[in-house]
Structure 1
Amino acid sequence: MKKIVVIILLLLSVTACQSEPSKDDTKETEQTITLTIRNPKVEIAPAFEKMIKAYEKQHPHVQIEVSTVGGALDNYSDLKAQLAANEGPDIFTNPGYEATDLWEPYLEDLSDQTWVQHAYPETLEPITRDNHIYGMPMNLEGYGIIYNKNLFHQAGIKAPPTTFSALQTVVEKLEKKEITPFATGYYEKWKLGDHLMNIAIAQQEKPDQFIQQLKDGTISIEKNEQMDQLIDLLDLTIEHNGADPLSTDYMTELQQFTSGEAAMILQGNWVQPMIDKLHPQMEIGIFPIVINEKATNNALHIHVPSYWVVNKQIPSKKKKEAKRLLNWMVHSEQGQYFMTKAFHFIPAFDHIDVSESNPMAQTITQVYQENPMIAPNWSNLPAGLRESFGTDTQQYIKHNWSHHQLLKAYQQSWEQAY
């Protein structure tokens, strides 16, 4: 009887050893999970890397490789080829709207994720198709004209302008004090092709109807008043800047602004980390980009620039880890810290406190919460149009075209893209 008991115990011991992996085996298995992320925000690259390291420390079985694109680079130029070859990143971004339709075969359904219930509902519309949510809002961004409060004070400017004629007066006052009004980074096509063009679209009486009528061919950009006014604004910035606008890239523009060489730039709250780095104590403000005398129509343009998406092609094990990371960014204390304090993001989620954010972020948040409407943006336009509009505008700046020729080129670019 004793021999039988001993044999049974020995058999149980051997079975247990075979069925239960050792700690070393478990560690080796967990370390095989590697995620790749495509980060489109060059402004937050160092802070983003720090956030990833913090996540890896809490989740040692996950290794994350980050590639950052942006600035002068086209974020999507090579991505589709990678995905078509099944070599795309595990997490990347999508701007929504028509890009959702274009990229849907590669987008994992995220409708069941816990962050969905906290996202501002209107922010999910551009990335939702047939009641399926394919991306997590990266943040809210607001853009306008950022100005140096100290230089405005030196020029005797007591309040930011609310109309185009008032902006012209601001320019005159600055130049009387020998202060360069604008730093213009028009080397960047995205700045010309989407941020500026969006101003004219948002100024339409009914922006959605305007876009639809362009698609139907019942109206033309050539004869549109707001598009014409937009070029007047473009002329003002070109004529009153301190350097060749086409040789001024994103970083050069910021350096000119933060060094006090220029009083204003057309940018958004995403430049806050760079401003803090280049001039930590700089006092800045932001006001709407004005193109006419209709002050009530002039407002900061607030939208979701892009959405974090998960590659539908990757193994389920990777999908699980990718979704866990996105939830951690939104729900964990560390993730929220990086979002609001390190990235200077404006959260697109109602449960994240922004009371200690920088003044520009607080201003944009307040505007958005008072009127939660995302301004029509370039992502709702035909694919490739941003690049074409940017090229058209650069040709105009080179003085190769007249005022009317630029409007005609915009219309031709629309027809070719649509």
Structure 2
Amino acid sequence: MKRKFVLFMVVMMLGLLLNACAGRNDETAPAPGATGTASPPPAKNVTINMFQFKVEIAEALDKLKNEYESSHPGVKLNIETVGGGADYGAALKAKFTSGAEPDVFNNGGFNELITWADKIEDLTDQPWVADVLDVAKKPMTKDGKLFGMPMNMEGYGFIYNKDMFQKAGITTLPKTLSELKDACSKLKAAGMIPFANGYGEWWVLGIHNFNVGVAHHDNPTQWVTEKNEGKVKIAGDKVFEEWANMLDLTLDNSNKNPLTTDYNTQVTLFASGETAMMQQGNWTQVQIDKISPNLNMGVLPMPINDNAEENDKLLVGVPSNWVVNKNSKVKEEAKEFLNWLVTSDVGKDYIVNQFKFIPAFKSIEVKDEKALGPIASDIMAYSAAGKVLSWHWFNYPDGLINELGAIIQSYVKNKNRNSMFSEMDKQWERLSKK
């Protein structure tokens, strides 16, 4: 199992490295300690304020907080979670504007790193740096320095209920748009709702769904660069026409009122067996397990045309990074906590078994892939086979993902494709000039 996981990590690095756009990192920080069991620090009587967006690990983080505080007398963790339907980016800006700056927060890297560069501490000298997968360093690397600790690796696609597929007589998993359409017809004929669409959440559309169209370009990184420079358009782009066909297919086979369906409702609809599929990723595993433990499920690609080889891929990347406020009065304690998180036995256990994260660190082993759940297992298998597409929204202009989400939500209402593409081009151009 260990050898299999090492192979997965190696192939993931090679596959995603082709699409990375950040510079090479030449850090020389020492490897973390072999045991990760350093003696507890002396009492400090300090509070580390953390502001994070992953609602799915909020409960586990509270447990981790107790573990850390009990082994580090005098250090308190104050963890605030803003995510789900809320706009974490806007909430983070409000925190800084109000003067209530967190000591530890999240950053997506690439353009987001540049936006927050004057607030983020250089972490290149930290003991965990040499242990990070090379591909996971790239979002937070600038001028040869590393400014963030990757949370994990994640992937997404259409999560599906294997038992419902079997009952509907779907014997071949769909890898093309036509095959997916046929699967939807069989599900409906069997009295089942194919998709739970949480399109009330702008990010489901503006981040993950739209990225499918971007990632299917021959050179998506170059396409985004040229789009930021005003050299290409979405209107008239064949790939985005195909992407819109996929979006339409989900709408034609949807739960009722997708625009008023939020994230929690979407996941609940799927986890309770009311729908056969949903567009989401392995971050939903914890919530699904709470509703339906041991649900028989997997992950399908999100096909936009009928080229099976092109479409049989999942979308994999680094969702976010832990960063330290360079102006924090407790930044040394904050760094100490982050180091403990990825080097201590307790921290490593939480990452794999409580958070259900695919680790972004070489030394954090997944001894049993089942511990992460079936969604992560499929993502790891696709990654090991090199069948992945990349994430690109961190390279869009600041604020664009919100605009894209709103524009696609409008399309869900009016189905005016030309208007959607035209408005996307307009807002991209406007925000690129800021």
Q: Is the 1:184–1:245 contact (alpha carbons within 8 Å) kept by the matching residues of 2?
A: yes
Question: What is the identity, as a one-letter code, of the residue corresponding to 1:273?
Answer: V
User: Is 1:262 the equivalent of 2:275?
Assistant: yes
Question: What is the identity, as a one-letter code, of the residue corresponding to 2:397?
Answer: P
Alignment CA distance shift 1:291-1:248 (3 Å): same
The number of residue pairs the alignment matches comes to: 388
Q: Is the 1:157–1:170 contact (alpha carbons within 8 Å) kept by the matching residues of 2?
A: yes
Q: Is the 1:138–1:306 contact (alpha carbons within 8 Å) kept by the matching residues of 2?
A: yes
**What SS does the corresponding residue of 1:143 show, helix, strand or coil?**
strand
Q: Which moved more, 1:69-78 or 1:368-377?
A: 368-377
* 1:3 matched residue in structure 2: none
Question: What is the identity, as a one-letter code, of the residue corresponding to 1:223?
Answer: G
Q: Is the 2:228–2:396 contact (alpha carbons within 8 Å) kept by the matching residues of 1?
A: no
* 2:322 matched residue in structure 1: 308
Q: How does 1:44-55 map to 2 (within 5 A)?
A: 44-55=57-68
* 1:7 matched residue in structure 2: none
Over aligned residues, Cα RMSD in angstroms?
1.7
* 2:408 matched residue in structure 1: 393
Q: In 1, distance between residues paired with 2:161 and 2:190?
A: 14
Q: Deviations over 1:182-207 (max 9, x none)?
A: 00000000111010111001100111
* 2:423 matched residue in structure 1: 409
Q: How does 1:258-297 map to 2 (within 5 A)?
A: 258-297=271-310
Question: What is the identity, as a one-letter code, of the residue corresponding to 1:392?
Answer: I
**What SS does the corresponding residue of 1:181 show, helix, strand or coil?**
strand
**What SS does the corresponding residue of 1:111 show, helix, strand or coil?**
coil
Pairwise CA distance, 1:268: 0.2
**What SS does the corresponding residue of 2:217 show, helix, strand or coil?**
coil
Unaligned runs of 5+ in 2: 1-41
* 1:199 matched residue in structure 2: 212
* 2:46 matched residue in structure 1: 33
Q: Is the 2:52–2:79 contact (alpha carbons within 8 Å) kept by the matching residues of 1?
A: yes
Q: How does the TM-score come out when normalised to structure 1?
A: 0.90
Q: In 1, distance between residues paired with 2:260 and 2:221?
A: 35
* 2:345 matched residue in structure 1: 333
**What SS does the corresponding residue of 1:313 show, helix, strand or coil?**
coil
1:123 maps to which of 124, 136, 141: 136
* 1:22 matched residue in structure 2: none
Q: Which moved more, 1:348-357 or 1:283-292?
A: 348-357
Q: Which moved more, 1:386-395 or 1:151-160?
A: 151-160
Pairwise CA distance, 1:320: 1.5
Pairwise CA distance, 1:110: 0.4
* 1:11 matched residue in structure 2: none
Q: Is the 2:157–2:315 contact (alpha carbons within 8 Å) kept by the matching residues of 1?
A: yes
Q: Which moved more, 1:236-245 or 1:80-89?
A: 80-89
Q: Deviations over 1:72-119 (max 9, x none)?
A: 000011322433554211110001010101101110110011211111
Q: In 2, distance between residues paired with 1:32 and 1:189?
A: 41
* 2:193 matched residue in structure 1: 180
Question: What is the identity, as a one-letter code, of the residue corresponding to 2:283?
Answer: W
Instruction: Name the larger-Rg structure.
Output: 1
Q: Is the 2:270–2:277 contact (alpha carbons within 8 Å) kept by the matching residues of 1?
A: yes
Q: Is the 1:146–1:286 contact (alpha carbons within 8 Å) kept by the matching residues of 2?
A: yes
Percent sequence identity over matched residues?
A: 38
Pairwise CA distance, 1:351: 1.2
2:150 maps to which of 121, 134, 137: 137
Q: Deviations over 1:294-314 (max 9, x none)?
A: 222221111101100001011
Q: Is the 1:139–1:304 contact (alpha carbons within 8 Å) kept by the matching residues of 2?
A: yes
Q: Deviations over 1:283-304 (max 9, x none)?
A: 1100111111122222111110
Q: In 1, distance between residues paired with 2:286 and 2:196?
A: 18
Unaligned runs of 5+ in 1: 1-28
1:240 maps to which of 248, 253, 277: 253
Q: Is the 1:194–1:378 contact (alpha carbons within 8 Å) kept by the matching residues of 2?
A: yes
Pairwise CA distance, 1:372: 9.5
Q: In 2, distance between residues paired with 1:273 and 1:173?
A: 29
Question: What is the identity, as a one-letter code, of the residue corresponding to 1:409?
Answer: E
Q: How does the TM-score come out when normalised to structure 2?
A: 0.86
User: Is 1:190 the equivalent of 2:190?
Assistant: no
* 1:80 matched residue in structure 2: 93
**What SS does the corresponding residue of 2:88 show, helix, strand or coil?**
coil
**What SS does the corresponding residue of 1:266 show, helix, strand or coil?**
strand
User: Is 1:66 the equivalent of 2:79?
Assistant: yes
